[in-house]
Amino acid sequence: MSSMTRTAHKNGLDLSEIRERLSTREGQDYWRSLNELADTEEFRDYLHREFPEGASEWNDKVGRRKFLQVMGASLAFAGLTSCTRQPPEKIVPYIRAPEQIVPGKPLFFASALSQGGFARGVLVESHAGRPTKIEGNPAHPATPRPGNATFGPTDAITQAQILDLYDPDRTQVPVGNGRASTWTRFSATLATEVAKLDLDQGQGLRLLTETVTSPVLVSQIRALLEKYPNARWHQFEPGTRDNAREGARMAFGEVVETQYHFEKAKRILSLDADFMESGAASVRHARHVALGRKVIDGQKADMNRLYVVESSPSNTGSFADHRLPLKASQVEGFARAVAAALGINAMGGNNVGHDTWLNALVKDLAAHRGTSLVIAGDHQPPAVHALAHAINNALGNVGSTVTYTDPVEAEPTNQHASLKDLTVDMSEGSVSLLVVLGGNPVYNAPADLNFAAAYQEVTTRIHLGQSQNETARLSHWHLPEAHALEAWGDTRAFDGTVSIVQPLIEPLYGGKSAAALVAMMMGDGRTDYDRVKEYWGEQYKESDFETAWQTYLHDGLVPNTALPERSVSTTENYGTPSQASEGFEVNFRLDPTIGDGRYANNGWLQELPKPHTRLTWDNAALIAPATAEEMGLQNGDVVALSANNRSVEAPVWIAPGHPANAVTVHLGFGRTAAGRVGNGVGFNAYELQTSDSPWTASDASMTKTGQTYPLACTQDHHSMEGRALVRSGTVDEYEKHPHFVHEMGHDPGPDANFFDGIHDNDGIAWGMAIDLNSCNGCNACTVACQSENNIPVVGKDEVLNGREMHWIRIDRYYKGDLDNPELYNQPVPCMQCENAPCELVCPVGATVHSAEGLNDMAYNRCVGTRYCSNNCPYKVRRFNFLHYADEETQSFKLQRNPNVTVRGRGVMEKCTYCVQRISAARIEAKVEDRELKDGDITTACQGACPADAIVFGDIKDPNSRVAKLKAQQRNYGILTELNTKPRTTYLARLTNPNPEISQHG
């Protein structure tokens, strides 16, 4: 918050006037932001005027220092690199070529990447030995795409982990007492420490890990604990699902894992669960909910219906048919009321109103016994989880849409309690050796634990981590941890399915895995590979393990390791009803892009516009319009948030749909030792968090400080101005009148061409269809595109200047009520117009039409007049105003896709429909002497999309998926009245509202 500037606002946001204006609007009225609704010019311009770019450019800390930080282009770093031993380079041809390596042809390896301890199956693209791109493994349950799909869906964070691998700020050598050291020296220290442990059976030894599902690591830790029975193992990470565990314990007397089967659900109720965006199975869930809403002309629409009760606007909420914003503490009362209405003796109950909504919901759920599904959010207290279990039971969903298994975690732990125990032990001085295997508790432990102080009471502190983070800096030894793409290991998915983690590259900086470090403590000299293979060899009961092992590696999972369904016995305990707080509440949430802060140094994720707010490079205190109105707050005004006798300063952002009298803050920001990208970005919300109530702080207060802070938002610009960009209707409207979409806009038709069929040919015509009925705005496409196409990061200043580079962006529009609007997401890549306005105006012919209908960019030819961008009605073109591509940082060079040009300064760029993939597939087809067939080419965005919202292919092939989608009645192009003939078209969104909830709300 150091760079806050004092600015006076000319004109306030008159929210009461906005309400009035909204109430007089009729029909399909979209609005984009409060600014538009306010309709005051001062306000339209507000975001930018308060922080004039001119000034920022002039005051630029010599040569866009921040920008350089972001891209990490530092010669100093190059010097550092040279301190480590580089593998010898030999420029000789292979005498005996390595198996399978064909120069220029990538290989894909199946592996798994964990988030919060749980696996997402991935296929990693490797070019000449360097991993460049992460795709989903379609066979993996967390990233499923059945059929013969090449890639499975993923999420934004998984996509971005390739950048973490090459992060130049990763630790490169072991650090002992703040000085560069070696593994050999560390081994010596460790030997001394271990010798001490042997004396008292590990009395003073503590292990602190994050959530662990890896069977190999667990077996090692167990062996360690067996050897040192007095030692203890603690687990902690901020995104811990303590509430779900405790909820299960409350409902069933034991911790079980709940498995949700959204593919079978027709009616879904989310009790403050953002299940499509967060959690171990979010990709799968998002996919199944979206697939349950696919509508095809001529078939009876059988859409599921999604009800979302939520305390903070989420992607899941934006996807809902009915969304009810409630304060976090009110959700329990609502859940009790639902339970009570279904005949559960839940006590307490609805003290939040919304009876019509609730009754209609209950009726709808009850009418769908066995095909409904209720899910409670990880932020909600255990009682809500217990109630959700009871409701599912009462609705007969258990065994159909909801099943139970044993926990996937080897040691399900209440992690906040576990960390608290550890802190007590540490401050009492009873910990002599603490080994932190990953994680960053000094930064991310709730503030009330005073972890940092207690940590320093430990005699010897050893930290294993990928970067020298806050915890590393307070440790005696900080050891470089191998990235998941660098070391052998294993991990489990949400349902228990085991994947072998395969390294794609030698550790760049000699890092070791957590398992390797535990092995060192145990004197286990095996390699990671041997350890993992031997472990799974022991588990394998049949003959020929070698073949099985190869299959594990090839498929990316160990077959039949999903946990079997089990029965549970209910306790009928739903906790003591707690009263919804009357006061001001603070919601703590993991950040949708940088998680708990571990991805803070990842430029792709920092610059990824967050769902709903479209903010980049900062977190903000999200407040309801009503709260803003009450307190006279504008976007960017800095407030002091106080709770539990602690206070932080944060800029506010008005989030339509946020419940009033509450604020949402995202964790993971305000880091001091994240690295060049993540340091000092945003404010640290952990400073307000307590271990007793980590997700909500009640009785908080918010006061205006009078300062303002610039927030870099990519899209808080104005309304849709009545333009038919996003088109939507209810499923009833669609069934009665399937043509409704086309009446919303003007399409000049196929004959409106001055010149006949200039781009007509007999060959292929590439096109794309984007189903808005499936998109929830998860951003996976944006990061996938960034990764595939070597798209640079520009930094906060440049985003403020309006120069972000994403080739596919997600436009967001609001519709309806200010306090609870509907939200529409619209991914916008290049439209590849048949009559492309950009091509006509380029003076050097740098953007030209291909025979297959692509609007190609010849970067080498581009002189950068920017005329094409001016003339692009969709504004999908991106310009390298400065030298954005980082050509200095050695490690980033390894990440780049060798098939895509790295664009220099002064060159225009844009979406190409992944032309490099098209070419690769064409070459392959030619080599195999066959025609290209539908599905041969998957664009990066399409491959990443959990919901199959994006479909690409040959629109001239009537049997291609894209042609079939484009034949749908819901298919429309945007701005077709300009006769651009876009090849990218959209399918209108449909909602499936409950007729009994007459008014949306």
Partner 1 sequence: MGSPAPINDPTMPAPVLGPGQTYTTVTQKLSAIITSRTPLGWIAAMLIAGGILQLLMLSATWLLIKGTGIWGLNIPVGWGWAIINFVWWIGIGHAGTLISAILLLMRQQWRNSINRFAEAMTIFAVMCAGMFPLLHTGRPWVAAYWLLPYPNTMSVWPQFRSPLIWDVFAVGTYFTVSLIFWYLGLIPDFATLRDKAKHKISQIIYGVLSMGWRGSAKHWFNYEMASLLLAGVSTPLVLSVHSIVSLDFSVGLIPGWHATIFPPYFVAGAVYAGFAMVLTLGLPIRYFYGLHDYITDRHLNNMGKVMLATGLIVAYGYAMEQFFAWYSASPYEGYMMQNRTFGPYSGTYWSLILCNVAIPQLLWIKKVRLSPLWLFIISMFINVGMWLERFIIVVTSLHRDFMPSSWDMYHSTPWDWGLYAGTIGFFLFMMILFIRVMPVINIFEIRQLVANKSHGEHAETASADD
Which residue number, 227 or 718, has a Cβ lying nearer to partner 1? 718
Structure-token pair, residue 39: 């309709």
8 A C-beta contact, residue 633 and residue 655: no
Contact between 9 and partner 1 by CB under 8 A: the answer reads: no
DSSP lists the bridge partners of residue 985 as 769
Contact between 875 and partner 1 by CB under 8 A: the answer reads: yes
Amino acid at position 373, single letter: L
Give me the residue label for tokens 């003290």: 351
Give me the residue label for tokens 């002064």: 906
Contact between 856 and partner 1 by CB under 8 A: the answer reads: no
CB of 861 to partner 1, least distance (A): 7
CB of 528 to partner 1, least distance (A): 45
Stretch binding partner 1 (CB under 8 A), from 131-139, 167-175, 262-270, 871-879: 871-879
Q: In a 3-state reduction of DSSP, which class is residue 936? A: coil
Which residue number, 485 or 794, has a Cβ lying nearer to partner 1? 794
DSSP 688-718: G--SSSSSEEEEEEEEEEEEE---EES----
CB of 63 to partner 1, least distance (A): 8
Contact between 261 and partner 1 by CB under 8 A: the answer reads: no
8 A C-beta contact, residue 972 and residue 986: yes
Q: Which residues contact 892 (CB under 8 A, 6 or more apart)?
A: 71, 72, 166, 168, 886
Which residue number, 742 or 883, has a Cβ lying nearer to partner 1? 883
Contact between 12 and partner 1 by CB under 8 A: the answer reads: no
Footprint of partner 1 on residues 812-831 (CB under 8 A)?
A: 812-813, 826, 828
Amino acid at position 1001, single letter: G
CB of 975 to partner 1, least distance (A): 6
Spatial separation of the C-alpha atoms in residues 753 and 624, rounded to whole Å = 48
CA angle 311, 315, 319 (to 5 degrees): 105
Neighbouring CB atoms inside 10 A of 667's CB total 25
Helix ranges restricted to H, 309-404: 315-318, 328-341, 355-366, 382-394
Dihedral of alpha carbons 493, 499, 505, 506, sign: positive
8 A C-beta contact, residue 777 and residue 949: no
Structure-token pair, residue 629: 């109105």
Which residue number, 153 or 816, has a Cβ lying nearer to partner 1? 816
Q: Which residues contact 836 (CB under 8 A, 6 or more apart)?
A: 847, 849, 855, 980
The correct pick among 21, 473, 849, 883 for binding partner 1 (CB under 8 A) is: 883
Stretch binding partner 1 (CB under 8 A), from 40-48, 553-561, 677-685, 913-921: 40-48
How many residues appear in the chain? 1001
Footprint of partner 1 on residues 706-765 (CB under 8 A)?
A: 715, 717-723, 725
The correct pick among 228, 319, 824, 879 for binding partner 1 (CB under 8 A) is: 879
8 A C-beta contact, residue 374 and residue 307: no
Which residue number, 505 or 744, has a Cβ lying nearer to partner 1? 744
What Å distances lie between residue 467 and 470, 479, 676, CA to CA? Answer: 9, 9, 11
Number of residues near partner 1 (by CB under 8 A): 67
The correct pick among 877, 966, 970, 981 for binding partner 1 (CB under 8 A) is: 877
Contact between 908 and partner 1 by CB under 8 A: the answer reads: yes
53: buried, middle or exposed (CB in 10 Å: 19+, 13-18, 0-12)? middle
Which residue number, 874 or 952, has a Cβ lying nearer to partner 1? 874
Closest by CA position to 787, among listed 157, 140, 281, 282: 157
Three-state DSSP string of 249-315:
HHHHCCCCEEEECHHHCCEEEEECCCCCCCCCCHHHHHHHHHHCCCCCCCCCCCCCEEEEEECCCCH
CB of 906 to partner 1, least distance (A): 2
What Å distances lie between residue 280 and 241, 343, 606, 786, CA to CA? Answer: 10, 32, 21, 24
CB of 909 to partner 1, least distance (A): 11
CB of 840 to partner 1, least distance (A): 5
Which residue number, 554 or 875, has a Cβ lying nearer to partner 1? 875
Distance of CA 822 to the CA centre of its chain: 21
The correct pick among 189, 350, 730, 865 for binding partner 1 (CB under 8 A) is: 865
CB of 682 to partner 1, least distance (A): 23
Structure-token pair, residue 669: 């920001």
Spatial separation of the C-alpha atoms in residues 245 and 240, rounded to whole Å = 10
Footprint of partner 1 on residues 532-571 (CB under 8 A)?
A: none
CB of 32 to partner 1, least distance (A): 6
Stretch binding partner 1 (CB under 8 A), from 449-457, 460-468, 526-534, 901-909: 901-909
CB of 618 to partner 1, least distance (A): 18
Stretch binding partner 1 (CB under 8 A), from 201-209, 246-254, 842-850, 948-956: 842-850
Stretch binding partner 1 (CB under 8 A), from 77-85, 273-281, 366-374, 840-848: 840-848
Which residue number, 227 or 849, has a Cβ lying nearer to partner 1? 849
Q: In a 3-state reduction of DSSP, which class is residue 778? A: coil
Which residue number, 730 or 869, has a Cβ lying nearer to partner 1? 869
The correct pick among 289, 842, 988, 990 for binding partner 1 (CB under 8 A) is: 842
Q: In a 3-state reduction of DSSP, which class is residue 2? A: coil
Which residue number, 640 or 882, has a Cβ lying nearer to partner 1? 882
Footprint of partner 1 on residues 94-153 (CB under 8 A)?
A: none
Stretch binding partner 1 (CB under 8 A), from 52-60, 259-267, 627-635, 758-766: 52-60
List of E strands, 877-968? 878-879, 908-909, 950-954
The correct pick among 975, 993, 1000, 1001 for binding partner 1 (CB under 8 A) is: 975
Helices first, then strands: H and E counts in the chain: 34, 39
Which residue number, 583 or 873, has a Cβ lying nearer to partner 1? 873
Alpha-carbon Rg for the chain, nearest whole angstrom, is: 28
The correct pick among 15, 32, 921, 973 for binding partner 1 (CB under 8 A) is: 32
Footprint of partner 1 on residues 59-78 (CB under 8 A)?
A: 63-64
CB of 3 to partner 1, least distance (A): 18
Contact between 840 and partner 1 by CB under 8 A: the answer reads: yes
The correct pick among 101, 882, 920, 925 for binding partner 1 (CB under 8 A) is: 882
Footprint of partner 1 on residues 755-814 (CB under 8 A)?
A: 798, 801-803, 809, 811-813
The correct pick among 10, 17, 20, 52 for binding partner 1 (CB under 8 A) is: 52
Contact between 863 and partner 1 by CB under 8 A: the answer reads: yes
Spatial separation of the C-alpha atoms in residues 831 and 840, rounded to whole Å = 15
Spatial separation of the C-alpha atoms in residues 220 and 524, rounded to whole Å = 10
The correct pick among 15, 44, 484, 652 for binding partner 1 (CB under 8 A) is: 44
105: alpha, beta or left? (left if phi > 0; alpha if psi -120 to 50): beta
Residues within the interface to partner 1 (CB under 8 A): 32, 36, 41, 44-45, 48-49, 52-54, 57-58, 63-64, 715, 717-723, 725, 798, 801-803, 809, 811-813, 826, 828, 837, 840-845, 861-867, 869-871, 873-875, 877-883, 904-908, 975, 978
